[in-house]
Structure 1
């Protein structure tokens, strides 16, 4: 164990989860768990496609079929701009304004907005419980709730639960009620799976394709209509992530941030302006 590995955790525990949630969330996402946050939010993204009302809208726009990498990058940029700078910073405000402008072109139910918002809180927490190099402390879990609740308010989402426990219950009840198979789920899910595979050499695709499903739970696989991976494959993928976590404990603390937007982005090799993120040539 590196002697300074828990420096950020000590700082986080001294902060207040309510008043300091932006600072805590910044440390979590950019310094403590950057890779894990990206991967867990990819799973969260897939979870939202298990809801027919969500997948039908995405399937209708054809964004994931025609421009999957750009759709992925646009979503990532907006989320990470808010996470890195905070919702009241100039860039964070611009990202929320851009997100609201994009969403305003579609008729989206408030309950769907609420669910998607909840996945940003609870999917990273659940990922961390399985694969984190250390467990998130209560301050980190609560700061995630307070951070995204404030973002939700700025998105004009109604009836956001007021406590961590209430919102988690909403998340679980919603999935039980609305996770159902639909052909649109399958089409959007397959397009996203193909996007993930495109990041690797083609000769690896046949081996990696079932592995991309190994972290999806049974309710997700059924909603997509995907074949369930073998228990052997599920365990192999999970164990590899647990080994990675144990190795990370030996590393020194990160001294510079590692947000998604800190590295070159495939769809924007020359950089981007927040006001143009998400543009498809069919802007209102």
Structure 2
């Protein structure tokens, strides 16, 4: 059992104000790889569902017509920054590409803040509910500091000053702006394949209901997704809780970090160049988000 908490013990010796990248990398690559990837999937899914943001994405067609490429490009750019930080060559190049994609457009600061809030809050809450252990204060702080730094380097202003303040801002904005809209529904139908791919093959017949059960009621309303039957919701909750308990008591420390052999995607089976990720410049419209 002591070995199971070795990473946590090491994290607690670090200073999140200085070592936030190392802590966040440990969370993603060693402590919670499956949960963090799923949490980030859910975060991006939610960020696409605000009406103003969803309308732009349906206009570009990036998520509805080139779904797999758009999802893979977003994930690759994000993971390159996490794996390499913002000061190493590949991390700098990924950040530069993110800024290049957004620079030509007049994107409201609050739209940026909402996407940032999704990335900070949604995965952390998933870990708090279904992770094999609760994220500690160092991990919450490091998560916030990683995305604060990303936000600053993207020119985002008025970023809340702590994880707790970010959570409060996110909840208030989400309650006011995540409202039912047809564009979000179209995007959700196109992108749910990403979450369906995480359903065990044995449960594939229930895949669509299980994906819907991962959403909270507000997101389901915004995307016109029917509420799954209560046995599906309860069954998913219990299965995830059981998984967490088994991981806590019978799991072992991962010996190979996530992406140790590189990031593999369906779109780029033979590798990729960071400069080629993202939409073609002639496919852009007035206000692309994220």
Query: TM tier, shorter chain?
Result: over 0.9
1:266 matches 2:259: no
Q: Structure 1 length normalisation: TM-score?
A: 0.93
Partner Cα separation in structure 2 for residue 76 and residue 111 of structure 1: 22
Structure 1 residue ranges, 4+ long, deviating more than 6 angstroms after superposition: 198-204
1:219 matches 2:221: no
Q: 1:158 is matched with which residue? A: 157
RMSD: 2.2
User: Could you tell me how far 1:165 is from its partner in structure 2?
Assistant: 2.0
Q: Is the 8 A contact 2:25 2:82 kept in 1?
A: yes
Partner Cα separation in structure 1 for residue 222 and residue 165 of structure 2: 25
1:230 matches 2:241: no
Q: Is the 8 A contact 1:77 1:260 kept in 2?
A: no
| 1:28-107 mapped onto 2 (5 Å cutoff) | 28-107=27-106
Partner Cα separation in structure 2 for residue 189 and residue 163 of structure 1: 30
| 1:137-156 mapped onto 2 (5 Å cutoff) | 137-156=136-155
| 1:176-255 mapped onto 2 (5 Å cutoff) | 176-197=175-196, 207-249=206-248, 250-255=250-255
**1:187-242 CA distances to partner (integer Å, 9 max, x unpaired)?**
11111124544678999765311111101011111111111112211111121112
Partner Cα separation in structure 2 for residue 123 and residue 133 of structure 1: 16
Unaligned runs of 5+ in 1: none
User: Could you tell me how far 1:272 is from its partner in structure 2?
Assistant: 0.7
Partner Cα separation in structure 2 for residue 23 and residue 181 of structure 1: 39
Partner Cα separation in structure 1 for residue 199 and residue 18 of structure 2: 42
Q: Structure 2 length normalisation: TM-score?
A: 0.91
Q: 1:282 is matched with which residue? A: 282
Q: Is the 8 A contact 1:50 1:185 kept in 2?
A: yes
Q: Is the 8 A contact 1:28 1:34 kept in 2?
A: yes
Change (3 A) 1:201 1:244: closer
Change (3 A) 1:8 1:266: same
Q: Secondary structure at the match of 1:106?
A: coil
Partner Cα separation in structure 2 for residue 243 and residue 207 of structure 1: 19
User: Could you tell me how far 1:107 is from its partner in structure 2?
Assistant: 3.2
Partner Cα separation in structure 1 for residue 124 and residue 81 of structure 2: 18
Q: Secondary structure at the match of 1:64?
A: coil
Change (3 A) 1:138 1:196: closer
**1:147-198 CA distances to partner (integer Å, 9 max, x unpaired)?**
1101100011111112222211110111011011111011111111245446
Partner Cα separation in structure 1 for residue 90 and residue 283 of structure 2: 21
Unaligned runs of 5+ in 2: 285-290
Aligned length: 283
Partner Cα separation in structure 2 for residue 228 and residue 86 of structure 1: 39
Change (3 A) 1:4 1:260: closer
Q: Secondary structure at the match of 2:282?
A: coil
Partner Cα separation in structure 2 for residue 145 and residue 168 of structure 1: 10
Partner Cα separation in structure 1 for residue 127 and residue 89 of structure 2: 30
